[in-house]
A and B are shown apart, each in its own frame.
Chain A
């Protein structure tokens, strides 16, 4: 087990980008977990200093339009981004995995129907639908999780399906069937464990999109104003005319964090893909 892990790590660490991605993510995770310890102020406490105070020694990234400490808000904002991103990606990947397994394993009509549905889901425009959804159910961070989760499964389903198609022809599945294992047992006990790599790669790469989607919707104001997120900070900065005040510290660092965290996941995804497909390494 441990030896396996070390061998995988050695292979993975050959890709510098992947390691960089992992480090970026870890830093943000520590930031999110230890937010109350790191943050110098309460992120919601207003009038700590005059509005749009530029960065100084007391407020590392200045204050926003109601005198809240931007640095503290950024630290707390990492919680929303990481949570929403991972959760949405996990739901999407889980759904996609189930659809892909069933579709690939049973084949025939089941496969036909599921793949047609997958094609349909691939074409539904995500952003306007998410906005309309937010309009009806009210702004909330769960919108992104739900919509992205339920619309984001098709790419995973396709990958898992093709993997399942090749796995089910292998001798060990035949052997399992020969000793009388049922369909459910074969799918979940024998095929699923062999798709772990693809599943992990999918969660990571879907997270990139989910983080961006969450930030984007919050930027448009379609997120819960009670939970500070990076997108939300930019939304408030735009509303209060921070650009015209020259108060760049209220929106540039927040957007930078979105980009950096998403980058971290993109790099990690790249590293994992190389690990899974050694053939790609030369390219």
Chain B
């Protein structure tokens, strides 16, 4: 088991390294001098400032050194948490900037994951139990439909209805601008009030797929002999459903949930942009717009890392939850 995890870990490190190579190589593969290329696209374009910035950049990225030395510098910088300085929010460090925005993204992603997974688990179990029923059939169709739904469009529909025509939710942002909070509770409720529509949007897009994964996993378990035994013993349906079947079917559901967590962190860029929600996703869109290269690179590095870590966690939890694999160690 340990050997397997180490193999996986090495694989993930390789992936991360490849992403670093891509990030490092892209500006250098473009025609022209990378420093010129980087500077020409900033807002600081003319005269001495440009020359000064140019010298700084050349120094910073070690562009006067050989390619291998540059790469080593880039990797050591990255691993020491230095991702460069944002051009848009000059002179803020990219790492600090991302860490400021990350909690907002985590808030809406975690809340929507919890909501979607809890409901998905419940509905998935019931749909599998009542296979072929109206609930089951509509779940399958809606699963296909939800796969095709652009999250930003769902967000815009909700925004138009619940923030414009029936204004019960704010039009955007994470907190009411300029509001002074008298207690922690006030702060939390304001944050949740602003997070509501983004969370609902993300949940709508993921819910049906979550439920379908649970349903399909349940169907496999329901065909097993021990379910027949439980039925023969005269146990109540509800007990067989949740205590016998669902627990055994939850394994792929849980690991899938963890893996989708990483996916959602990058996917939330659309929902955040729709609701002008100041998370990492919106930072990515903003930075793209102001051609803030270091920040875009930094976000790619950090989100890849989150992505990879959540995948690795999913591997570990899968092994840990499956007793057949866990107990092999003691043999």
A positions within 8 Å CB-CB of B: 17, 116, 119-120, 123-129, 131-137, 208, 211-212, 215-216, 219-222, 234, 238, 243-244, 246, 248, 251-252, 255-256, 258-259, 262-263, 265-267, 270, 283
Contacts and interface: CB of A to CB of B under 8 A. Distances in A.
A124 B150 contact: no
Interface in B118-169: 131, 141, 144-145, 147-150, 152-153, 156-157, 159-160, 163-165
Contact of A129 (B141, B219, B274, B300): B300
B216 to A, nearest CB: 8
Contacts of A17: 141, 144
B156 A255 contact: yes
A256 B153 contact: yes
B76 interface: no
B171 interface: yes
B148 A125 contact: no
A208 B297 contact: no
Contacts of A234: 152-153, 156
Contact of A243 (B141, B149, B164): B164
Interface residues of B, number: 53
A129 B145 contact: no
B303 A125 contact: yes
Contacts, number: 132
B145 A266 contact: yes
Main secondary structure of the interface of B (DSSP, over half): helix
Contact of B156 (A123, A135, A243, A244): A243
Interface stretch (B55-63, B241-249, B304-312): B304-312
Interface string B209-222: 00000000001000
Given A221-B289, A251-B156, A133 B26 contact: yes
B71 interface: no
Contacts of B159: 243
Given A243-B159, A262-B150, 18 more contacts: A17-B144, A123-B12, A123-B311, A124-B15, A124-B19, A125-B262, A128-B304, A129-B19, A133-B26, A136-B26, A136-B27, A219-B150, A234-B153, A246-B164, A258-B150, A262-B149, A266-B145, A267-B144
Interface string B295-324: 011011001100110010000000000000
B83 interface: no
A120 B18 contact: yes
Contacts of B153: 234, 251-252, 255-256, 258-259
B160 A243 contact: yes
Contacts of B165: 246
B18 A134 contact: no
Contacts of A255: 150, 152-153, 156-157
Contact of B288 (A119, A222, A265): A222
A247 B157 CA distance: 12
Interface string B245-281: 0000000000000000011001101100110000000
B308 A212 contact: no
